[in-house]
Structure 1
Amino acid sequence: MHESVAESSLVSKIHHASTKQQNGVHESQHEKVVSVTGDGIIQSPDFPNTYPRNTVIVWRLVAVTESSRIQLTFDPRFGLEDAENSICKYDYVEVEEPVGGIVLGRWCGSEMVPGPQVSKGNQILIRFVSDEYFPSDPGFCIHYSLLQQRQSEPEAPAVMPAWMQGVDALSEAVAGFSTMEEVMKYLEPDRWQVDMEDLYKPTWQVVGKSFFHQKKSRGVVDLNLLREEVRLYSCTPRNFSVSLREELKRTDAIFWPSCLLVKRCGGNCACCSHNCYDCQCSPTKVAKKYHEVLMLKHRAGGRGLQKTLTDVPLEHHEECSCVCKNDSD
């Protein structure tokens, strides 16, 4: 409803606009190409004051050499129009990889300052969009700098320490591990064993003028078990009773038993990826099984019931998984 017409026409016009060069910045009608030779800043118009309405600006940052990578760091002063239903629809800034068009992140509001971003190649795009309603302040300011890759390893991607990742990216990465040990190795690969020991060391707490010793024990809470319970009961094959007439779409017959138990996927998918807006518990492995039942059918001419034992095929879900089904699907 708030989407800008200028944004939708950006891609089609961006390569045809006339360009000019000034102080290392090539400007076109919709895109500014910045030659990155050192440190610099990209900021919303009028930062740190209220940015203008109905604005679309794209900066293409290009490092001087193919082996260079570009790091982006957001100024703590950050504020754009708030999200709607946790989605940045109206005013936002986003960072994109030019190759493949992969969006590394889109941000708005003022509650959280985006974390550092590092390009996978020697280019990176920054896009700022504002609509005609509710401009905010102070906008945003992004500091960019060069990360030099060693010439002997030109293909190696820039590795970002786990602590430098944004909250969303770090949360999603941690959620993918099965054990506490894997989590600690990911967060601190050089000292994970020390951190594991620190987690379970006894702690002292103060209550008024008295002291008591509270000992943490591995036997009190097993975090690995807690995670396993969530995995087992969130989205799994479970027993459902189905009506044979409805399941087989047979309105001409009567079955006994009229209902049978089958395995079907069930459970919620609350722990899907944060960028998935429609997550469903879906089957990933399906088997057809045959069940012997009594089938009754009226004989032609109304001469009683025909009774036969017959095998009916029913679909069973053997494996389930939370699957993202966005509108684009």
Structure 2
Amino acid sequence: NDLFGLVQKCSNKPLFSPSLCSVGVHESQHEKVLSVTGDGIIQSPDFPNTYPRNTVIVWRLVAVTESSRIQLTFDPRFGLEDAEDGVCKYDYVEVEEPVGGMVLGRWCGSEMVPGPQVSKGNQILIRFVSDEYFPSDPGFCIRYSLLQQHEAPAVMPAWMQNVDALSEAVAGFSTMEEVMKYLEPDRWQVDMDDLYKPTWQVVGKSFFHQKKSRVVDLNLLREEVRLYSCTPRNFSVSLREELKRTDAIFWPSCLLVKRCGGNCACCSHNCYDCQCSPTKVAKKYHEVLMLKHRAGGRRLQKTLTDVPLEHHEECSCVCKNDSD
């Protein structure tokens, strides 16, 4: 069997068809790169039978266009070596965003089939790892597909929008340049220069020439507000409370995590209840000392273990429904 598993081009075949072929594949030294133009399948070697030991396989799926997104759907038949203390340490399949290295999920065992995963960009990584002990079956099988892309709706010219709609649109831009491009796409640079042209001030019969300079950086003013608004920031959490573990003691007992915080004063004008909420969440593993009482013993069991903690990587002010 191919170490990198099997790939199926199955645009006109049913989900998880046993007939497989390899299409649009480029192998590199460290990973297998697949050009995604339709539906296909990735699976652990020998699926649905026991996968081999000591195996590391990485697939990089690349959609044909930058605007495309890739969806992953797991076959209900799923089984890898069980987790230890709730952490997939030994045999697992992992899905990762190539840009930024954010892990969308890591799975093992057989009690729960992973849910669908969708890429943020036009690429996504799938990593399969097995160690030298206790291989399981059936392994895993993942169907990948391109999400349908819809054309962007036509944007009404800025001068035709009412004050409320224009205010909300302008508030979403990060720089003054973006604002000017939105207002006047064909002449935004001219408008930018006009803002800082010299002006004449009349005092009595004299004319004073005043040259405007870019002393005030509006981009910087906006960035300062953003830094103190709804953003990820450090919070300390108690491991026993966070993990809901009453049977163990951890050292350190608290760890720092990134969680959303700050106000939402600049939320949409028509929002009744605006809250700072996470829009990108990652599960990260931290190695700590865990102490547990031995059954019938006088000594404590001491082990180094990985504990999963939720980190908020991106935050946004979200308008909650008034009826919630």
TM-score class normalised by the smaller sequence: 0.3 to 0.5
Q: Distance in 2 between matches of 1:33 and 1:162?
A: 43
The alpha-carbon deviation at position 66 of structure 1 amounts to: 37
The alpha-carbon deviation at position 237 of structure 1 amounts to: 1.9
Q: Distance in 2 between matches of 1:201 and 1:264?
A: 45
**Are the aligned partners of 1:287 and 1:316 in contact in 2 as well (CA < 8 Å)?**
yes
Q: Distance in 1 between matches of 2:229 and 2:268?
A: 14
The alpha-carbon deviation at position 210 of structure 1 amounts to: 9.1
**Are the aligned partners of 2:197 and 2:211 in contact in 1 as well (CA < 8 Å)?**
yes
The alpha-carbon deviation at position 31 of structure 1 amounts to: 65
Give CA deviations for 1:152-181 in whole Å, capped at 9, x if unaligned: xxx999986534533212211111223323
Q: Structure 1 residues 162, 243: CA separation in 2 closer, same or farther (over 3 Å shift)?
A: same
Give CA deviations for 1:89-143 in whole Å, capped at 9, x if unaligned: 9999999999999999999999999999999999999999999999999999999
The alpha-carbon deviation at position 284 of structure 1 amounts to: 1.8
Matched, 1:221 2:219: no
Bigger Cα displacement from structure 2, 189-198 vs 114-123:
114-123
Q: Structure 1 residues 159, 290: CA separation in 2 closer, same or farther (over 3 Å shift)?
A: closer
Q: Structure 1 residues 168, 310: CA separation in 2 closer, same or farther (over 3 Å shift)?
A: same
The alpha-carbon deviation at position 242 of structure 1 amounts to: 0.7
User: Which structure: larger Rg?
Assistant: 1
Bigger Cα displacement from structure 2, 162-171 vs 82-91:
82-91
Q: Distance in 2 between matches of 1:250 and 1:111?
A: 21
Q: Structure 1 residues 169, 256: CA separation in 2 closer, same or farther (over 3 Å shift)?
A: same
The alpha-carbon deviation at position 251 of structure 1 amounts to: 2.0
The alpha-carbon deviation at position 256 of structure 1 amounts to: 0.8
Q: Structure 1 residues 207, 161: CA separation in 2 closer, same or farther (over 3 Å shift)?
A: same
The alpha-carbon deviation at position 247 of structure 1 amounts to: 0.6
Q: Distance in 2 between matches of 1:305 and 1:298?
A: 5
TM-score (norm 2): 0.46
The alpha-carbon deviation at position 261 of structure 1 amounts to: 0.9
Q: Distance in 2 between matches of 1:298 and 1:145?
A: 49
TM-score (norm 1): 0.46
Q: Distance in 1 between matches of 2:296 and 2:109?
A: 73
Q: Structure 1 residues 203, 68: CA separation in 2 closer, same or farther (over 3 Å shift)?
A: same
Matched residue SS, 1:21: coil
- Show the counterpart of 1:152: none
Q: Distance in 2 between matches of 1:229 and 1:222?
A: 11
The alpha-carbon deviation at position 229 of structure 1 amounts to: 3.6
**Are the aligned partners of 2:47 and 2:139 in contact in 1 as well (CA < 8 Å)?**
yes
Bigger Cα displacement from structure 2, 104-113 vs 297-306:
104-113
Q: Structure 1 residues 107, 41: CA separation in 2 closer, same or farther (over 3 Å shift)?
A: same
Count how many residue pairs are aligned between Structure 1 and Structure 2: 312
Q: Structure 1 residues 216, 278: CA separation in 2 closer, same or farther (over 3 Å shift)?
A: same
- Show the counterpart of 2:13: none
Bigger Cα displacement from structure 2, 33-42 vs 168-177:
33-42
- Show the counterpart of 1:291: 286
Q: Distance in 2 between matches of 1:113 and 1:131?
A: 21
Bigger Cα displacement from structure 2, 72-81 vs 313-322:
72-81
- Show the counterpart of 1:175: 171
Q: Structure 1 residues 110, 66: CA separation in 2 closer, same or farther (over 3 Å shift)?
A: same
The alpha-carbon deviation at position 85 of structure 1 amounts to: 50
Give CA deviations for 1:269-313 in whole Å, capped at 9, x if unaligned: 222211221222222222211111112223344724332222111
Q: Distance in 1 between matches of 2:298 and 2:48?
A: 88
Q: Structure 1 residues 259, 214: CA separation in 2 closer, same or farther (over 3 Å shift)?
A: farther
Q: Structure 1 residues 43, 119: CA separation in 2 closer, same or farther (over 3 Å shift)?
A: same
Instruction: Give ranges in structure 1 of 5+ residues lacking alignment.
Output: 1-8, 150-154
Bigger Cα displacement from structure 2, 228-237 vs 41-50:
41-50
Instruction: Give ranges in structure 2 of 5+ residues lacking alignment.
Output: 10-16
Q: What RMSD over aligned residues (CA atoms) do the two structures have, in Å?
A: 21.0
